[in-house]
């Protein structure tokens, strides 16, 4: 799943760690609402940080698909906000759906979208695996 940009690959690994945390929390019964809320907060905060970094380089390097990619980021953040709202209304019932969404989103996003900027970022000096 590498995008051949060390900084970005390291950040993507962080998301995998949080997903494992959520998956582990769901296996432990009863599921802790504190853990689910913590995961939602972590995903939201780190996503904003991570996307801001990618988007900074999109702009700096005049990445041709920047607008499309930024729109995808906004959709993701909006979906996380929906999960946050659903959690506040109904508690941990959303945990399974959140995990499924995150796993599918990242499994698709990295190879279908993030890998497209690899060459651009590498050509501008961001590289390393």
Q: Residue 93 to residues 16, 56, 104: CA-CA distances in angstroms? A: 22, 36, 19
Q: What is the pLDDT of residue 129?
A: 55
Q: What is the pLDDT of residue 91?
A: 79
What does the DSSP assignment read for 24-56? HHHHSSSPPHHHHHHHHHHHHHHHHHHHHHHHH
Class of domain 6-123: mainly alpha
pTM above 0.85, yes or no: yes
For each successive 10 residues of the chain (129 residues), what is the average pLDDT? 91 89 82 85 92 97 98 96 91 87 92 95 85
Domain ranges of the chain: 6-123
Q: State the first-to-last Cα distance of the chain, in angstroms, to the nearest integer.
A: 11
Return the structure tokens found at 61.
Answer: 């390097």
Which residue has tokens 């019964």?
A: 29
Which residue has tokens 């853990």?
A: 35
Q: What is the pLDDT of residue 27?
A: 82
């Amino acid at each position: 799943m590498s995008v051949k940009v060390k900084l970005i690959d390291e950040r993507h690994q962080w998301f995998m760690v949080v997903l494992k945390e959520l998956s582990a929390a769901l296996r432990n019964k009863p599921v802790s609402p504190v853990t689910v809320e913590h995961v939602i907060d972590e995903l939201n905060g780190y996503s904003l940080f991570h996307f801001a970094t990618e988007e900074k380089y999109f702009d700096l390097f005049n990445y041709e698909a920047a607008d499309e990619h930024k729109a995808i980021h906004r959709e993701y953040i909006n979906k996380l906000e929906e999960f946050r709202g659903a959690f506040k209304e109904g508690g941990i019932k959303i945990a399974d759906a959140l995990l499924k969404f995150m796993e599918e989103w990242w499994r698709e996003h990295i190879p279908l979208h993030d890998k497209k900027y690899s060459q651009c970022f590498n050509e501008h000096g961001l590289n390393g695996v």
